[in-house]
Amino acid sequence: MYNKVPSNLDFQSREKATEKFWTENKIFEKSIDIREGGENFTFYDGPPTANGKPHIGHVLTRVIKDMIPRYRTMKGYHVLRKAGWDTHGLPVELEVEKLLGLDGKEQIEQYGVEPFIGHCKESVWKYKGMWEDFSGTVGYWADMNDPYVTYTNDFIESVWWSLKKVYDDGLLYKGFKIVPYCPRCGTPLSSHEVAQGYKDVKEKSAIAKFRVKGEDNTYYLAWTTTPWTLPSNVALCVNAKEDYVKVFANEEYYILAEALVSSVVGECEIIERYTGAELEGREYVPLFDFVKPEEKAFYITCAEYVTLTDGTGIVHIAPAFGEDDAQVGRKYGLPFVQLVDAKGCMTKETPWEGTFCKDADKDVLYDLKVRGLLFKTLPFEHSYPFCWRCDTPLIYYARNTWFIRMTEVKDKLLKNNDTINWIPETIGTGRFGEWLKNVQDWGISRDRYWGTPLNIWECSCGHRHSIGSIAELKEMSDNCPENIELHRPYIDEVTIKCPECGGEMHRVKGVIDCWYDSGAMPFAQWHYPFENKELFDQNFPADFISEAVDQTRGWFYSLLAISTLIFDKAPYKN
């Protein structure tokens, strides 16, 4: 009945023989068919991108993913193992840019969005065969003959259905916010994408001298870790409750927090004392005069976020480049000055036009030094976010972006997380649980090309409408092709009639975060709710998922976020 086990240790040939036996005799398919009608055990496969090669790190994750479903199959459960391919997003676009010798959005649009998208569609399958061979070699069983593919119309239509529900619930909104932004890719990133790209870097911070208006030889000392934002400065900020002093040193007068005098100035004579509140409203002479704002600017403001743990107790305010700054800007009605363009380069108003902003640090500091407005520079090491796709330093940049109000459903996220059995348990309560406690609104839109188009149409009258299906699109449109492909640029040409004024509505530009695609797979893989309702009900939530720990801020999060928004329950049990 059994072949004699050879005594040699040639494991590779044994494994190849086993793999050949499984393939020729369709053992995987039979393992599912013979359990038909049995109790279901549901496993979700986190979709890889087929235009990236599998590597040694994928061996462990695939072995763990295979082990539990295989064990459950042996225990008599019916275990569907539908493979999936993550086919949208920046990794695909960047690969195609390299292939075509393009660099950035401007060149993509010159080349043509339609042929560019065609190359993206081909590129996603570049390493499909390698992934399939790799999976067979490590003994990973999954249905790769009928996988879910995130770029198909069926998958996108299900995603649209879910986004329409989010929109109708009042949780999808457009806001002018400071967002983590990749100037190379020309698009904002979500908080969970940012979390995957931090690196420790050494940079220079600076203490600049802002001359007190109406007083000679007297300066506010303000600290910044981003000297390139100083040309966009419109205010300074202190903590109203802290104590500040004017001191005399180096033949000059300086104003800063009393608690930081010894570390910043050293030996000096204290001339005068104030509270932060007493400084509010006092004016100073701007470091640069590149722009002359119409609104009142260049004065002291107050905010509680200013601390005395480092710096000078005075921070400079540039509302275009930081959330704290933006909040101060809104509170005081400060002007909006943004002397960095969408490519991350200094604008023509400055002497450094075309220089990447972070590279302009040295130029800005040199200019201040020459004019006697640089108190000192301080080297410092900190953790800085880089684009997880192209490795460009991110900048915090004011953009009009579409968001999902995850902060509105934070309590539901935490409640649903409590129902999940995490292994190890500390991931659920610690790394993942703490992430949820500090959840931020999800910046969902991407100013790119290859992805699920955002399904919002806008009218000049101000009305907006979210389309939730191809049928609804055709019903409201006079020019939707019968065989419409739900991708740019085809979908950009489809207009709908405004239900409010009868005018022509156009789709908003841009696509959605590809993490939304992967997080929608529990229902979108079945084209739910348009078909396969029973199949979905039988296989939701999953009994088991497994990925590397970095996915606590990737796939694990997007799955839970979308499932909470749509079904108010966790999408996986273990």
The per-residue pLDDT for 5 is 73
| Contact present, 146 and 82 (Cβ < 8 Å) | yes
Q: Are 172 and 431 in contact (CB under 8 A)?
A: no
Amino acid at 184: R
Please state the separation of Cα 24 from the chain's center in Å. 44
* Residue 395, CB-side half-sphere exposure with 13 Å CA sphere: 25
**Looking at residue 1, what is its pLDDT?**
64
Query: Which residues are 444's β-sheet partners?
Result: none
Rounded Cα distance between 221 and 217, Å, is: 12
* Residue 187 tokens, joined: 């698009």
Nearest to residue 448, comparing CAs of 226, 189, 186, 248?
A: 186
How many CA atoms lie within 13 Å of 568's alpha carbon, on the beta-carbon side?
Answer: 6
Rg of the chain, C-alpha, whole Å: 28
Q: Could you tell me the two tokens for 42?
A: 């549901």
Q: What is the DSSP string of 138-150?
A: TT---EEEEEEET
Cβ of 247: how many Cβ atoms within 10 Å? 22
**Going by C-beta distance under 8 Å and a sequence separation of 6 or more, which residues neighbour residue 467?**
160, 164, 455, 457, 473, 476, 496
Angle at which helix 128-137 crosses helix 11-24, to 10 degrees, equals: 110
Q: pTM for the whole thing? A: 0.80
Give the C-alpha distances (Å, rounded to integers) separating 68 from 56, 80, 236. Answer: 20, 12, 58
**What are 96's two structure tokens?**
């195609």
Torsion angle, alpha carbons of 103, 106, 110, 115, to 10: 70
The string over 373-394, giving b where at least 16 C-beta atoms fall within 10 Å of a residue's C-beta and e elsewhere, is: bbbebeeeeeebbbbbbeebbb
Ordered per-residue pLDDT tens for the chain, 574 residues: 677 777 777 888 888 988 999 999 999 999 999 999 889 999 998 888 777 788 888 888 899 999 999 999 999 999 999 999 999 988 889 889 999 999 888 899 999 999 999 999 998 888 888 888 898 888 999 998 889 999 999 999 999 999 999 999 999 998 777 888 888 887 787 776 777 788 888 888 999 999 999 999 999 999 999 999 999 999 999 999 999 999 999 999 999 999 999 999 999 999 999 999 999 999 999 999 999 988 899 999 999 989 898 899 999 999 988 888 988 988 898 998 999 998 899 999 999 999 999 999 999 999 999 999 999 998 888 888 888 778 888 888 888 889 899 999 999 999 999 999 999 999 999 999 998 998 888 989 988 999 999 999 999 999 999 999 999 999 999 999 999 999 999 999 999 999 999 999 999 988 999 999 999 999 999 999 999 999 999 999 999 999 988 888 889 999 999 999 999 999 999 9
Q: What is the model's pLDDT at position 128?
A: 85
Q: C-alpha angle 473/474/479, rounded to 5°? A: 105
Rounded-to-integer distance, Cα 158 and Cα 165, Å: 11
Q: Are the beta carbons of 541 and 570 closer than 8 angstroms?
A: yes
Q: What is the pLDDT of residue 489?
A: 95
Would you call 305 helix, strand, or coil by DSSP?
Answer: coil
* Beta strand residue intervals within 297-358, DSSP E: 300-302, 315-317
Of the candidates 546, 558, 532, 471, the residue with the CA atom closest to the CA atom of residue 146: 532
